[in-house]
Amino acid sequence: MHSYPQPALIQVKSLTDIALSSPARALAFQGAPGCNSHRAALEFAPDCAPLPCFSFEDALDAVKEGRADRAIIPIENSQHGRVADIHFLLPESGLSIVGEHFLPIHHALMALPGATGPFSAAYSHPQALGQSRHFLRQRGIVPMAYADTAGAAAYIKEMGDPAASAIAPALAAQLYGLDIVENNVEDAADNTTRFVVLARQPLTPADLAGQAAMTTLVFEVRNVPAALYKVLGGFATNGVNMTKLESYQKGASFSATQFYVDIVGQPGERSVDLALEEAGFFAKHLRLLGSYPLARPRG
């Protein structure tokens, strides 16, 4: 909490007090109040009590420790790719994915009241800076990384430098008393971030009865020729639609590659059960991270 800029601390304390008084309604998110994760929390569960956390680990810990019922975490952006470190954090958290949410991303350039530029620097989360890189380059504004978008807006308010700006959601300008210099500074009009919602307990097939579902899993293949091909073949031959396959290295040995996978369907469906059975035979480790309602049709 004390790692936030001073203007954000008042907002953090107010939201935290409300969330901690009603843990069953609390939905943890990473960032200062006014960030896109805050927006996602309110869109996904309008009646929730948003709980701001400084880091992804803090948000996940809030759920594990019972201070929040769920956490909402960004996992990938249509323009800038996957969110750094999230593939390590999700499996290690011990939590289950119970939902997904797609949030259209619209960034605003904001500054102190009355400041109109030119601006020497724009502070924001690296993802937001990457999503606005053409806008910044055309105007000669230097991108400066900050822990999160709304925190950057609070930092601009605290710093008091009229030559500095922030890239953040419009909500942040309202919360921290900044002027919006320009709206929609993202480089792509269809810029969208996918969030996942995590809880202590997974959803069961009964919870998902009658709904189209997604399942997320991670696995490591055995160190034998064509192991990955054979794992993937199990999904193909059983007609299971794989919508995401990403590899990443765990540890420094570089000898075992981990794979993060999203599929359409859930355990209990015959095609999915057969595909997972085949995958498990050729995988060294395979772990389901959760099945959850499909928020947007794939394919």
Contacts of 26 (CB under 8 A, 6+ apart): 19, 20, 48, 49, 50, 51, 62, 67, 68, 69, 70
| Active-site position among 56, 135, 195, 259 | 195
Q: Is 195 a catalytic residue?
A: yes
Exposure class string for 181-192: b at 16+ Cβ within 10 A, else e: beeebbbeeebe
Give the N- to C-terminal CA distance of the chain in Å, as an integer.
Answer: 41
User: Which one from 44, 135, 149, 193 is the annotated catalytic residue?
Assistant: 193
Cα separation of 220 and 172, whole Å?
41
* Residue 52 CB-half CA count within 13 A: 27
Active-site residue list: 193, 195
